[in-house]
Structure formats: structure tokens, C-alpha cells
């Protein structure tokens, strides 16, 4: 079983850049780039099949910053190999364009059985790459997967639904799964052996030309998505925040202020 | 090519409420043309169609088939493409839920265009439909538009108000026939497991909710104790139900229940958009160790501290 996992590299959300500054590339320190957290869940899903079925897992990162770093981490977690597509020409805000690049990557890889991808790009909450890629590939797909197991001749998939979950059955064969943040997919840590492997690994860097694409095919000009502005959200709410003092003092302050404002805590 | 087509998702035997919110939002964009709705199901109920009409759909396109009894992407894409071909709308839009987020981007692919995702507001400027999506944990927002011949949009759950006194007319109905084949049935829905709806958080006046910061299954006791003491209910974020710290029935947020209590105490909750969109509280108290947590922007009162220190003291003081 050959599995391709697509991972995105993002700026660590813990980094001290608020609002629009977070998206300002000139402020980004390459050391703060991490794998989009939910994509690690997808890696874990693929590695579970490596453990149980002997699957071969390839991690692919398309990005213009330090995609090798993300792929090396994926290998350190246990992926067999990795590929990067490093191009500044890709308009990565458009999920259609990203999915088209992924589609070409899969065509070039040729032999694959499963495609796995994180359910969401965290900073923008974008989730559309997976459904778009599934549609381009025209293969069976299940999104927002929270558990994935192979049983006899089918994948038994549990997917998240509002207020519950749905069990879905997919026959074995080429399929795509987008993975959500669940207990089953809590990512493993990198191992010592993995880190050694990742250091030695040769990571091919494909160009757009290698994929049969040109800058015109994937650039902002061709995209229907037009970003008009990016602004900070100013919440006009006045919050009374208590950040100093012993716990008891803080609680007292809170209760006092609430009493002053005429807000009742209720009570049974 | 004119008009706005709203995907009308059925959930638990009713028109899902985000559909009504979206209808309420788009029905005033009259310069874009009439609003219609797409209803896909095994067998349409008259009340569904009336509801869609009341809330602003002038016309309802219906596709009925056993393959559409529950959401499965392939069959739903096929039926929707047929409706889009017939209705030829400028805008195709769906509200909130997981299955809508699954469907709408797939449709966009067939028109080789993008999808504007998780929009929380729509503004009509001239003939341009401007979409607003919050990013970076709701610290910033993107204003964007689609240059596509057709525009595909998904909206964030709970983004739009529902008209409480809708006055729309009975809509025109057009039934379309779509034939399905074996390929459309490859992926099978085996069963839908609903969280037990024993806890009704919707009507609760007071809610004490815990997030990832609670720190574990055995640490939820203080949340429950405080909720009981205040005569309220206990709630939790998706992270907690995912990690099985607490049953799913307590989940509040996009994939859980939407709540509108008088008082909401958010303990160890960071304030992620998926959670906050389900909370409309008169008074919100936040307790979190991270002073940068976005919950502090939404709260009325906040304490930067460890909930396991603060809540027991609060409990004692209330007693």
C-alpha cells in the first residue's frame, strides 16, 4: 500500500505575532515554521497503516519557505520518504490552485493507493483543498475522518458530524481521506532512529516544470480568488481582565466588580 | 445566469437552521436576482418547501432519490450539478455544517473556480459580492471576492441570524430527475451515531464550560460542581469530547450545541472560532492561564489564572 500525505507548513500559532502581522512574511522567522498541526494527524493515520499493513508513506510539502524542514520532520516521525515542491509562484491561498498542484504531484508519483491530508489549514481555517482534490482525482473520499481502519475488503471510517459521527464504508482501492483532530490520530513523536533517517534522507525538490506546470497555471492572476484586504478585527467589547494577584484576591475582585455592575452569578 | 442558489441541508428530519440563516442574509441581495433553494432528499416534505419559501426562497428545486436519503458526496454532487445546470445561478451558497463544507467546494471544481470558505459576512458593493472570513483565530479578517463566472461560498455555522417572523410566500417547485449508477453508491453510510441529547444546553441560563485547559477526564469534577452549585449546566469544547474527557452530548460549538445563556463561564477555553461561534452569552467570564488567549477578547470578565485554583475558591465564595 502506497500512501501519499500532503502536509502544509505554517507559522507556529504560538508565535508572538498577532492579527495581520502573523501573515507578514517579512516578520517570519524560519525557525518558527511548523507542520500544520492537523496534518500531523494525517501523518499519524498513514503511519498506522505502515505499522499494520507495511504501507509505504511519502510526505509531500508544497510551499515557498522551508518545506524541507516539514518533510524531514515527517520522516523523523516515520514516513519512508518525502518530496518538496518549492515555488514562490504558487498562489497558495486558493484551495483550487493548491489542489491542482497536488493533483499533478500525484500524477508524477504515479503509483499510490491512499491520499491523506489534514482536514484544515489552521491559520485560515481553510478546509477546501481535500474536497477539491478528491473531486479532481475522481476517487472515493471521506472527509473529517476521526478513525480509520481496514477490515477485510473495506475501510471502515468514522467521520465527524455535528452532534455525533457517521460510520462510512469504502471499498479498498484508491481513496482520499481528510483527517481531523481526534484521539485516534494523536501524532506520535519523532524517534531517535527517525531523526537519523531524516537527516540522511534525500528529498527531491520538484519544480513546477517537473510537474508540467508553469507559473501562469498556478499564480494569482489565474485565480478567481481576489483578496481585497486583510485587516485586524477590533472587538469593541470592554473586558474587565484581572491578571495579577493571588487566586483569592482575583476571585474577590471579580465578584466585587460583578456586584458593582449588577451581574448576578445565579445560584441554585 | 442570475440568482442565488442556497443548498438546503436536511438534518434530523428538518431544514437545518443554518440554511434559514443564509436565506435571511441573501434574500436582500435582490440585484443579484432571485433566491432559490436546492432540496436533495429521498422524499420531500411539503413543510420543508413551505419553510424554505417563508424564509425567502422564491423557487425550490427538488431532487428525490433513495441515494439522497443521507449525505454522500458523490450522489449529492451529481444532483446539485443537475440543479445548477437548470437554475444557472450566479451564486451557490451553503451554510455551516460539515456536509456543506464537503459539498460546495466539490461543485466549484466542475466550474474550474475557487470556493470562498467559512464566510461570516457578505456585503453587496454594486454588483460585487464581498465575502468576509475571519482568520488567525478571529484576530484578523480577509475581505475577498470571487472573479469566477459562478461564485461558490460556504458560511460559518451560526454566522447569520434567522428571521423569527419570516413572511415569504409559498415557493414555486421544480422537480428534477437524476439517475444514479453503481459508482455513486461505492461509499456507503453504515450508520449515523448521534450524541445522546440528554443534556439540553440550548435553554440553559447558566453554563460552566471546560476546554483543553481542564487537563484531563478526572479533572472535570470542578466544572460540574460549580455548574450544579449555580443551578446551571456543564459544557465542554470539542477538544474535550474528542479526547473522551467528557461525553459528546456536552459539546458546545460548531459541531456541538449552540447556546445562549445569561451567564457563561469559560474555564480553560482558548476561544477558538469553532467554539465561540456556538456561544451567545449575555455575560461571559473567562478563566485561562494564557493571557493572550482569544477568549479574553470576547469575555466581559476575565481572570488570568489556573482554573483549578480559581474555580474552587469561586465555589467556596458563592456558597
Residue B259, in any domain of the structure: yes
Q: Could you tell me if B17 and B48 lie in one domain?
A: yes
Flag whether B201 is in a domain. Answer: no
pLDDT tens track for B113-134: 999 999 999 999 988 999 999 9
| Full-model pTM | 0.87
What pLDDT is recorded for position A266?
64
- Asked if B186's CB is within 8 angstroms of A171's CB, the reply is yes
- B27/B14 Cα distance (integer angstroms): 21
Q: Is the ipTM of this complex over 0.90?
A: yes
Nearest CA in chain B to A239: B300
- Are both B27 and B157 inside the same structural domain? yes
Under 8 Å between Cβ of A208 and A214 = yes
Q: Indicate the number of domains in chain B.
A: 2
Inter-chain touch A239–B299, beta carbons under 8 Å: yes
Answer yes or no: do B304 and B225 share one domain.
Answer: yes
pLDDT at res. A97: 98
Domain, as residue range, for B212: 206-318
Contact check, Cβ <8 Å, A267/B231: yes
Claim to verify: residue B180 and residue B39 sit in the same structural domain: yes
Same domain, B35 and B99: yes
**Structural domain contains residue B198:** no
- What is the rounded CA–CA span in Å between residue B135 and residue A97? 20
Q: What share of chain A is helix, strand, coil (3-state, %, to 5)?
A: 35, 30, 35
Chain B contact for A236, CB < 8 A?
Answer: no
Residue B57 within any structural domain of the chain: yes
CA angle (B278 as vertex; B103, B201 as ends), nearest 5: 120
Q: Is B140 on the interface with A (CB under 8 A)?
A: yes
The per-residue pLDDT for B243 is 83
**Rounded-to-10 torsion of CA B51, B110, A174, A211:** -150
- Are residues B137 and B256 both part of a single domain? no
Instruction: Indicate whether B195 belongs to any domain.
Output: no
Q: For residue A240, what are the β-bridge partners?
A: B301
Least confident of A42-51, A164-173, B37-46, B135-144: B135-144
Give me the domains of chain A, ranges plus CATH numbers: 2-218 (3.40.50.620)
pLDDT averaged per 10 residues in sequence order, chain A, 268 residues: 97 90 92 96 98 98 93 98 96 97 98 96 92 98 97 95 90 96 93 96 97 96 97 86 95 94 74
Q: How many whole angstroms separate alpha carbon B123 and alpha carbon B104?
A: 20
Could you tell me the CATH number of the domain that includes residue B287?
3.40.50.1220
C-alpha cell at A22: 502573523
| SS3 at position A22 | helix
Q: Are residues B176 and B222 in the same domain?
A: no
Mutation target vs A (from B13, B114, B255, B298; most A CBs, 10 A cutoff)? B114
Task: State whether B142 and A230 contact (CB < 8 Å).
Answer: yes
* Interface probe with A: pick from B7, B112, B301, B306, most Cβ of A within 10 Å: B301
**Claim to verify: residue B219 and residue B155 sit in the same structural domain:** no
Asked whether residue B49 falls in the same domain as residue B124, the answer is: yes
- Asked whether residue B199 is domain-assigned, the answer is no
Tell whether B241 is covered by a domain. yes
Both B244 and B121 in one domain: the answer is no
Cβ-Cβ pairs closer than 8 A, A with B, add up to 257
CATH classification at residue B123: 3.40.50.620
Amino acid at each position: 500500500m502506497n500512501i501519499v500525505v500532503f502536509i502544509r507548513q505554517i507559522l507556529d500559532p504560538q508565535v508572538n505575532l498577532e492579527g495581520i502581522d502573523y501573515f507578514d512574511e517579512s516578520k517570519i522567522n524560519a525557525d518558527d515554521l511548523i507542520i500544520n498541526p492537523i496534518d500531523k494527524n494525517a501523518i499519524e493515520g498513514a503511519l498506522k497503516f505502515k505499522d499494520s499493513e507495511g504501507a509505504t508513506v511519502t510526505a509531500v510539502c508544497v510551499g515557498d519557505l522551508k518545506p524541507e524542514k516539514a518533510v524531514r520532520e515527517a520522516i523523523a516521525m516515520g514516513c519512508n520518504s518525502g518530496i518538496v515542491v518549492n515555488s514562490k509562484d504558487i498562489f497558495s491561498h486558493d484551495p483550487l490552485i493548491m489542489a491542482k498542484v497536488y493533483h499533478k504531484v500525484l500524477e508524477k508519483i504515479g503509483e499510490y493507493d491512499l491520499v491523506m491530508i489534514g482536514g484544515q489549514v489552521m491559520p485560515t481555517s481553510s478546509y477546501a483543498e481535500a474536497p477539491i482534490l478528491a473531486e479532481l482525482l475522481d476517487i472515493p473520499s471521506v472527509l473529517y475522518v476521526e478513525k480509520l481502519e481496514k477490515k477485510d475488503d473495506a475501510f471502515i471510517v468514522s467521520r465527524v458530524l455535528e452532534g455525533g459521527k457517521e460510520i462510512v464504508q469504502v471499498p479498498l482501492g484508491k481513496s482520499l481521506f481528510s483527517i481531523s483532530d481526534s484521539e485516534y490520530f494523536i501524532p506520535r513523536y519523532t524517534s531517535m532512529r527517525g531523526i537519523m533517517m531524516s537527516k540522511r534522507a534525500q528529498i527531491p525538490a520538484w519544480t513546477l516544470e517537473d510537474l508540467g506546470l508553469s507559473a501562469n497555471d498556478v499564480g494569482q492572476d489565474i485565480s478567481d480568488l481576489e483578496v481585497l484586504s486583510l485587516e485586524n478585527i477590533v472587538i469593541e467589547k470592554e473586558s474587565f481582565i484581572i491578571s495579577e494577584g493571588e487566586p483569592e484576591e482575583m476571585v474577590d475582585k471579580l465578584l466585587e466588580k460583578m456586584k458593582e455592575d449588577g451581574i448576578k452569578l445565579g445560584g441554585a | 445566469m442570475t440568482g442565488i442558489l442556497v443548498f438546503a441541508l436536511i438534518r434530523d428530519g428538518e431544514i437545518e437552521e443554518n440554511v434559514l440563516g443564509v436565506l435571511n442574509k441573501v434574500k436582500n441581495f435582490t440585484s443579484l436576482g432571485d433566491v432559490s433553494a436546492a432540496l436533495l432528499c429521498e422524499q420531500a416534505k411539503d413543510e420543508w418547501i413551505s419553510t424554505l419559501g417563508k424564509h425567502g426562497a422564491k423557487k425550490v428545486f427538488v431532487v428525490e432519490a433513495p441515494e439522497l436519503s443521507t449525505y454522500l458526496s458523490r450522489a449529492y454532487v451529481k444532483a446539485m450539478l443537475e440543479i445548477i445546470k437548470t437554475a444557472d445561478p450566479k451564486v451557490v451558497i451553503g451554510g455551516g455544517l460539515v456536509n456543506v463544507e464537503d459539498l460546495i467546494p466539490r461543485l466549484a471544481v466542475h466550474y474550474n473556480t475557487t470556493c470562498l470558505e467559512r464566510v461570516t459576512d457578505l456585503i453587496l458593493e454594486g454588483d460585487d459580492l464581498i465575502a468576509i472570513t475571519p482568520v488567525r483565530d478571529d484576530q484578523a479578517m480577509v475581505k475577498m471576492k470571487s472573479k469566477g463566472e459562478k461564485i461558490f461560498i460556504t458560511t460559518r455555522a451560526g454566522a447569520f441570524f434567522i428571521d423569527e417572523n419570516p413572511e415569504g410566500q409559498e415557493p414555486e417547485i421544480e422537480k428534477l430527475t437524476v439517475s444514479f449508477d453503481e459508482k455513486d453508491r461505492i461509499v456507503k453510510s453504515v450508520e449515523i451515531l448521534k450524541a445522546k441529547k440528554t443534556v439540553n444546553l440550548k435553554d440553559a441560563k447558566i453554563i460552566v464550560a471546560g476546554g483543553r485547559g481542564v487537563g484531563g477526564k478526572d479533572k472535570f469534577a470542578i466544572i460540574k460542581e460549580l455548574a450544579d452549585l449555580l443551578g446551571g449546566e456543564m459544557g465542554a469544547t470539542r477538544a474535550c469530547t474528542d479526547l473522551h474527557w467528557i461525553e459528546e452530548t456536552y459539546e458546545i460549538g460548531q459541531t456541538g450545541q449552540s447556546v445562549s445563556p445569561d451567564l457563561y463561564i469559560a474555564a480553560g477555553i482558548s476561544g477558538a472560532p469553532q467554539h465561540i461561534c456556538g456561544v451567545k452569552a449575555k455575560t461571559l467570564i473567562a478563566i485561562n492561564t494564557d493571557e493572550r488567549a482569544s477568549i479574553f477578547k470576547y469575555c466581559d470578565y476575565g481572570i488570568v489564572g489556573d482554573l483549578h485554583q480559581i474555580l474552587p475558591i469561586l465555589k467556596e465564595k458563592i456558597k
